[in-house]
Amino acid sequence: MKRLMMSLSIVLLVIGLAGCGGGGGNASEKDGKITLTVMQSNTGPAFKEVYQQIVKDFEKENPNIKINLQSPGQNYENILKMKMASNELPDLFDTHGWAIKRYGNYLADLSQEDWATDLTESIKSLITDDNGKLYVLPLNESKEGIFYNVDVLKKYNVEVPKTFDELIAASEKIKKESNGEVLPFYASALDAWTIGQYFDYFANPLLISPEHNHADALLKNEFDWSKWSFLPEKYKMMYDKGLLNEDMLTAKQVDENRLFAENKLAFAIHSAGTYSDIKKINPDVKMGVFPIPAIVEGDEPTFVGGEREALGIWKDTKHMDEAKKFLKFMAKKENIKQVSDITNSPAPFKSIQVGGDIADSYEQYKEVRVLPYFDRVYLPNGMWDVMCTLGQELIYGNITPDEFSKKMDEEVNRLISQQKNK
C-alpha cells in the first residue's frame, strides 16, 4: 500500500508539473511569448536564489521568452524517468551526473556552441562521447571529499584523518571529549542520499584506488560481493557507537546546516555545496574539505569528482534556438562563476579561477587524485537507489551487512539482465 501511494503521489506530481510547463514540459507559445520549461534537481536555498536571479536577468534581456523553472526535489529522478518513458521531457533539464549514461539518447549535441571550447579537459572528457557529441553545459565540476568544521577539529586537537581508522578514532575522540555535545557524523533516512553517499564515496578507497584493486572484476561483473561487506559493517558500527546521529531514522538533512553553524557537528559525507546556507546561520563558521581517507594499507586519500550541476537540451524541443539562447546566457562567465562559487566547487571553464569559500582546500589538495563516482562507472543504472534503500534497511535493523552485500550482488545482476533485454 505504501508503494502504491508513493507511485500515485509521483504520478500526480508529474501531472501537476506538466500542467505548469505547457504541454508536458515542452516549450509553449502564447501571445507571441515562448515559454521554456527548465527542470533543476538542486534545491539548496542559496543555489536556488542564484539560479532564479540568472533566470530573471535572462527574461529581462529576452522579453519574448519566459522560463518556467521547476525544482521538484527528491522526486526529480522518478519524474524524469516517467517523462522519458512518454518522450515528453522538459526543454532543458539538469542531468545530475548522468548526461551520457542515462539521458544521452534524449539530449541535443552542443559541441558547436561557442562556450564549448572553454571547457576544462577534466569535465569535457566526461560529457563528450567518442564521436565528439557534447551532451550538456556543465555549471560546475564535482571535487568532493569529507566536508568538515575546521573549528571543531581545532578545538579537540584533531588532525585531518588520512585513513579510515584515523577517521573513526577522530570521531570517537570528538564525541568523548565533547561529552556528546558534538556529533561526529550526521545522516537522514528520510533523505536517503545522505546514506548512499557513504557507500559511494568509500567504495573507491575500498575497491578502486588501491594498487591491487577490483575495478576490472566489477566492470566484467565478476566481482565477489562478499568483499563489499566491510562498508555496511563499518557504517552499522558507526551508528551503534553513536558516531552518527541517533535520530537518523526521523531526522531531516536540512538540520545538518544548523548543527554545523553551531559547531556541534564535525563531518559530513557530501560536497561543500551547503556551505553558503550554513553561513547564513553563522557567518563566522569555518568549513573545509579534505580527501576521502584511504582504507587499504599503502593507499593514499582521494577525491571523487565528475559531472555535477549540468544543463542539457531535450533533442525534440520545439524551440531549439530559444533553448540554445538560454544555455548561452547561462554560460556567461559571470553566471558560471556565481554557480561555482555558491556551490563551492571548481568552475568547468578554463578561463575561471576556483572561487568560493573552499578555494583554500582545493589549493591545499590540488595534487590529490580525483576518481569518478563509484556508481557511475562500476554499477548499472538504478543501483544508486538500491544502495540508499539497503542503507536504510541496515540502520532499521532489517538486514545484516552480509545480507546487504548479497542484495547488491542480486540487484546488479537483475539490472544488467534487464538492461540487456531492452
pLDDT attached to residue 31 = 66
- Distance, in Å, from the CA atom of 117 to the CA atom of 114, rounded to the nearest integer, reads 7
* Count of CB atoms situated within 10 Å of the CB of 324: 18
Contact between 214 and 223 (Cβ < 8 Å): yes
Residue from 269, 260, 286, 297 nearest 166 by CA: 297
pTM over 0.85: no
pLDDT attached to residue 98 = 86
pLDDT digit string, tens, across residues 43-78:
888 889 999 999 999 999 999 999 999 988 878 888
For residue 228, pLDDT beyond 70: yes
- Distance, in Å, from the CA atom of 129 to the CA atom of 264, rounded to the nearest integer, reads 45
For residue 190, pLDDT beyond 80: yes
Q: Which residue has the higher pLDDT, 381 or 92?
A: 92
For residue 2, pLDDT beyond 70: no
pLDDT attached to residue 413 = 96
pLDDT attached to residue 220 = 96
pLDDT digit string, tens, across residues 137-166:
999 988 899 999 999 999 999 999 999 999
pLDDT attached to residue 89 = 95
- Distance, in Å, from the CA atom of 408 to the CA atom of 383, rounded to the nearest integer, reads 8
Mean residue pLDDT across the chain: 90
What is the grid cell recorded at 59?
Answer: 527574461
DSSP-assigned letters across all residues of 216-282: HHHHTT---GGGGGHHHHHHHHHHHTTSB-TTTTT--TTHHHHHHHTT-B-EESS-STTHHHHHHH-
